[in-house]
Amino acid sequence: MTSRIVLATHNPHKVQEFASIVATTRPDLEVTGYDGPEPVEDGVSFAENALIKARVAAARTGLPALADDSGICVDVLGGAPGIFSAYWAGHKKDPVSNVELLLDQLADIADPHRAAHFVSTIALVTPAGAEHVVEGLWPGRIALRASGEGGFGYDPVFLPEGQGGRSAAELTADEKNAASHRARAFVALVPLLAVLEH
């Protein structure tokens, strides 16, 4: 018998990515997208925003709900953009402008001081009210200029550790999915999925 879990996003690519990961450990668990209204993400941490989204989706659908909140954190900027990553250059959520602004802010910062990491925080909320939060970090640094055609967001300027100086946008989808912050959070999520009713 197949059980369902809802992913609190309107992004079909993210639903597909989550579904692929879940299928490797829980083939009986169907991941569906959320079609309800988007809540106001007024938390002050990745965990708070992920929980806001998961709580709304669980309450509205009556299903266990997953929500991801993620962003990039730059050491020399005190961890910014952080939870404001998607809006770094303004509320139009323009990824090209976000990247341009970040590179401009770091223009005078030498390569050894451009350390950064991606964060993915995933919340799991059940209709009964149980709540769990897991986190994955992907360390690296900010490049001097953008490169690569793949990925999205800050991927063209993020140089992950152990990838030979290639940006996240230069990795294949399989390479990125095996190493990324989201993949690392999935590893922590798997045991939580195992306790859901079959």
User: How does pLDDT run across 80-108, given as a tens digit for each residue?
Assistant: 999 999 999 998 889 999 999 999 999 99
Name the pTM for this structure: 0.89
Phi and psi dihedrals of 6, rounded to 5? -100, 140
Give the number of other Cβ atoms within 10 Å of residue 109's Cβ: 15
User: How does pLDDT run across 34-86, given as a tens digit for each residue?
Assistant: 999 889 889 999 999 999 999 999 999 999 999 999 999 999 999 999 999 99
Catalytic residue set: 69
Which residues are bridge partners to 132 per DSSP? 124
Distance CA 78, CA 81 (A): 9
Q: What is the CA radius of gyration of the chain?
A: 17
Q: Which domain holds residue 108?
A: 3-194
CATH number at residue 58: 3.90.950.10
Burial class (CB in 10 A: 0-12, 13-18, 19+), 79: middle
User: How does pLDDT run across 116-127, given as a tens digit for each residue?
Assistant: 999 999 999 999
Q: How many domains does the chain have?
A: 1
Close Cβ partners of 20 (under 8 Å, ≥ 6 residues apart): 177
